[in-house]
Structure 1
Amino acid sequence: MNIDFHYGVVYIAARVGGMTAGEALTVAHACQYVDDATTCGILRFKGGETFERFATAHKLFDYVNTENDQNRLVWAPFHFLPAGEGETLEEKAVCRPDSKVAREVVRRAIRQRDSETGLHRLGVALHTYVDTWAHQGFAGIESPWNRVHLLEAQDCTRKGWLASLRLATEHLMDRIEEDVLTVALPVGHGAALHYPDQPWARWHYIDGRNNFISRHNLPDFVQAADMACRAVRAYLAGREDFEGEAGLPEDVKDTLTVLLDTNRNIDDNQRLQTLCERVKAGRIPGLKESIPAYIAKGRGSWKCDATGLECDDDTGDRPVWTSAFEKSDYRLFHDAVKEHRFVTTQEILPAHGLRIA
C-alpha cells in the first residue's frame, strides 16, 4: 500500500474509530513513516549522547541487493509479515491477509496502549497489518513464491502501465520482461510492479509454483480499512479482541469504496491529495476537517523537529541533545519500531514455528 492508504485512509479509520484529530494524526503519520524511515544506525549528539535507530524501509532499489539477512529484518516484520502457515520456511514466510500472526501483532500493540510509545506502536502495527492484504502471496525473504510470470492487469492502459513501471523501477528500461524482474527483485512483490499497492487494480499472474493467481484489490483494501477501524476502537477501549469491535459504518465504507475505486492517479501523492480534499469538503460521512500535510524528510519532518537535521545524511553536523528529543515523535517512533521488531521476530513468529532473525 502507498501513502494514500497508510496516511490518508488510516487517518480516516482512526477518526471514525473514535480518536481525536491529534491521536489520529500520530497513528497515521507513524503508519506511513514506516515506508520512509530509511536511516539506520546510531544518531550521535555533540555532547556524546547516542540514540539507536532501525530502518523500517530500504531506499529506492536497495531491495535489489541480495543481503537476505538484512531483508529479513526489514521486509518481513514490517511489510511482508509471515503468516507462519505451511511446512517449510519458505511456505511459512509467505504473507497472508489477516493471518493469526498479523492479529497477534495488533493485539500486542494494543496491550502497550498505556505506554509512552502507544500511539506510535499502533501506527507501526497497523502498517504491517494492512499490508498483509496488499502483499498477500509474497514473502519478505528470497523465495520462489516471489516469482511472477505472465503478469497482466485489467482496466489498465498502456500509458498507465508504463507510468507504473517507471515508478516501480525508475532507472530501468520502460519495457522489461517479468522474468527479468523476477530474477532482479527476489524479495517481496517487486516483480509484480505497483499492482499490489493500487486500491482499484484487478490483475493476475502465474506464481513461482505455477499457480494462477487472480487479484482484485478493492474489496481487500476496504476490508483492511474496516479492520484498522476495529483495531482503533479496541485500542481506545483497552480490549485486545479487536476483531469483535464495530468496523466502519456502512455509509463510510460505501463512500470509501467508491473513492478508492475511482481515485486512480498513478501518483500516490496525488491520490492522497484527492482524498484529503474529500475529507475537507465533508465527503466522508461524519468527518469534515483538514488533514495536516505529511512531511517525510527535511524541514517540518519528525526528524528535523527532533534534531534540527534537515538532511537525511547524518555525517554532517551533530545535533545537540535536549530533553525535548525524549518527548519527540521521532524518538517515540523509533522506540516503537524497536519494540515491534523484537516482539514480532523474537516472540510471535517463533511461537508460530518461524525463526528468521
Structure 2
Amino acid sequence: MNIDFHYGVVYIAARVGGMPAGDAITVAHACQYVDDATTAGILRFKGGETFERFATAHKLFDYATTEDDKNRLVWTPFHFLPAAEGTTLHEKAICRPDSVVAREVVRRAIRQQGTATGLHRLGVTLHTYVDTWAHQGFAGIESPGNRVHLLEAQDCTRKGWLARLKLATEHLIEHVEEDVLTIALPVGHGAALHYPDQPWAKWHYIDGRNEFVQRHNLPEFVQAAEMTCRVVRAYLAKREDFETQPGLPDNVKDVLTNLLDTNRNEDDNARLLHIRNVVESGGIPGLKESIPEYVPKGVGSWKYKATGLTHDDDTGDDPEWTEAFENSDYRLFHDAVKEHRFVTTQEILPSHGLRIA
C-alpha cells in the first residue's frame, strides 16, 4: 500500500473509529513513516549522547542488493508479515491477509494503550497489518515464492524506468520485465511492480509454485480499512478482541469504496491530496476537517523537529540532546519500531514455529 492508504485512509478510519484528530494524525503519520524511515544506526549528539534507530524501509531498489539477513529485519516484520502457515521456512514466511500472526501483533500493540509510545506503536502495527492484504502471497525473504510470470493487469499503465524497456511488442516487454525483475528483485513483490499497492487494480500472474493467482485489490483494501477501524475502537476501549468491534458504518464504507475505486492517479501523493480534499469538503459522512500535509523528510519532518537535521545521512552539526527530543514524535516512533520488531521477530513468530532473526 502507498501513502494514500497508510496516511489518508488510516486517518479516516481512526477518526470514524472515535479517535481524536490529534491522536489520529500521530497514528496515521507513524503508519506512513514506516515507508520513509530509511536511516538506521546511531544518532550522535553534541554532548556525546547517542540514540539507536532501526530502518523500517530501504531506499528505492536497495532491497535488490541488500543481504537477505538484513532484509529479514526490515521487510518481514514491517511489510511482509509471515503467516507462519505450512511446513517449510519459505512456506511459513509467506504473508497472508489478516493471519493469526497478524492478529497477535495487533493485540500486542493494543496492550500498549496509555504508554508513551502507544500511538506510534499502533501506527507502526497498522502499517504491518494492512499490508498483509496488499502483500499477500509474497515473502519478505529471498524466496522462490516471490517469482512472478505472465503478469497482466486491467486498467493499469506502466510508468517510470520500466517505460525505457520498450521493445518490439508489448508481449515481449512483459516477458522481459518479468524475467529481469524476478531475478533482480527476489524479495517481496518487486517483480509484481506496483499492482499490489493500487487500490483499484485487477491483476493476475503465475507464481513461483506455478499456480495461477488472481487479485482484485478493491475489496481487500476496503476490508483492511474496515479492520483498521475495528482496531482503533478496540484500542480506545482497551480491548484485545478487536475483531468483535464495530467497523465502518455502511455509508462511510460505500463512500470509501467508491473513493478508492475512482481515485486512480498513478502518483500516490496525488491520490492522497484528493483524499485530503474529499475529507476537507465533507465528502466522508460525519467527517469534515483538514488533514495536515505529511512531510517525510527535511524541514517540517519529525526528524527535523526533533533534531534540526535536514538530511537522511545526518550531515550537519550534531544536535543537542534535550527533553524536547525525548518527547518528540521522532524518538517515540523509533522506540515503537524497536518494540514492534522485537515482539514480532523474537516472541510472536518463534511461538508460531518461525525463526528468521
On whether the aligned pair clears a TM of 0.5, the verdict is yes
Asked if residue 123 in structure 1 is aligned to residue 120 in structure 2, the reply is no
Task: Give, in whole Å, the separation in 2 of the partners of 1:255 and 1:352.
Answer: 38
Q: 1:130 to 1:203 in 2, by over 3 A?
A: same
Kindly tell me: are residues 337 and 22 of structure 1, through their superposed partners in 2, closer, same or farther at Cα, counting changes over 3 Å?
A: same
Query: Using the alignment, how far apart are the partners of 1:214 and 1:148 within structure 2?
Result: 12
Residue 186 (structure 2) aligns with: 186
Counterpart for residue 333 of structure 2: 333
Written as runs of structure 1 = structure 2, the 5 A alignment for 1:317-356 is 317-356=317-356
Contact 2:181 2:190 in 1 (8 A): yes
Structure-1 residue corresponding to 2:170: none
Question: C-alpha deviations, 1:46-102, integer Å up to 9, x for none?
Answer: 000000000000001101114000000000000000000000000000000000000
Indicate the residue corresponding to 2:313 in structure 1.
313
Other-structure match for 1:261: 261
Q: Which residue of 2 aligns with 1:86?
A: 86
Q: How does 1:58-77 map to 2 (within 5 A)?
A: 58-77=58-77
| 1:155 Cα deviation from its structure 2 partner | 2.1
Contact 2:309 2:316 in 1 (8 A): no
**Paired residue for 2:297?**
297
CA offsets per residue over residues 145-198 of structure 1, 9 Å max, x none?
100000000123xxx2x22xx2xx579745542011000000000000000000
Give CA deviations for 1:31-60 in whole Å, capped at 9, x if unaligned: 000000000000000000000000000001
Amino acid at match of 1:87: T
TM-score (norm 1): 0.96
Residue type of the alignment partner of 2:212: F
**Residue aligning to 1:238:** 238
Cα distance in structure 1, aligned partners of 2:146 and 2:196:
12
Taking the aligned partners of 1:171 and 1:202, their CA distance within structure 2 comes to 20
Q: Gapped runs of 5+ residues in structure 2? A: 167-172
Distance 2:85 2:142 in 1: 17
In 2, Cα distance between the equivalents of 1:9 and 1:114? 24
1:245-265 per-residue CA deviation (whole Å, 9 max, x = no partner) reads: 000000000000000000000
Spell out, residue by residue over 1:197-223, the C-alpha distance to the aligned partner (whole angstroms, 9 max, x if none).
000000000000100000000000000
Q: CA RMSD in A?
A: 1.1
* Distance (Å, rounded) in 2 between the aligned partners of 1:182 and 1:312: 29
Question: 2:165, 2:356 → 1: CA distance?
Answer: 34
Instruction: Indicate the residue corresponding to 1:7 in structure 2.
Output: 7
1:281 corresponds to: 281
- Identity value in percent: 79
SS at match of 1:297: coil
Matches of 1:265 and 1:102, distance apart in 2: 30
For residue 169 of structure 2, what is the aligned residue in structure 1? none
2:152 aligned counterpart, secondary structure:
strand
Describe the superposition over 1:315-347 as per-residue Cα deviations: whole angstroms up to 9, x where unpaired.
432111111000000000000000000000000
| Separation in 2, partners of 1:66, 1:54 | 15
Distance 1:302-1:170 versus aligned 2 partners, 3 A rule: farther
Q: How far did residue 106 of structure 1 move?
A: 0.5
The alpha-carbon distance between structure 1 residues 53 and 170, as it changes in their structure 2 partners (threshold 3 A), is farther
Query: TM-score scaled to structure 2, two decimals?
Result: 0.96
CA distance in 2 between partners of 1:177 and 1:334 (Å):
36
Q: Take 1:177 and 1:68, find their aligned partners in 2: how far apart are those partners?
A: 23
Identify which range, 175-184 or 228-237, moves more after superposition: 175-184
Q: Which residue of 2 is the match for residue 200 of structure 1?
A: 200
Report the secondary structure of 1:51's partner residue: strand
Alignment partner, residue 40 of structure 2: 40
Residue pair 2:309, 2:315 contacting (<8 A) in 1 also: no
Alpha-carbon separation, structure 2, partners of 1:170 and 1:303: 33
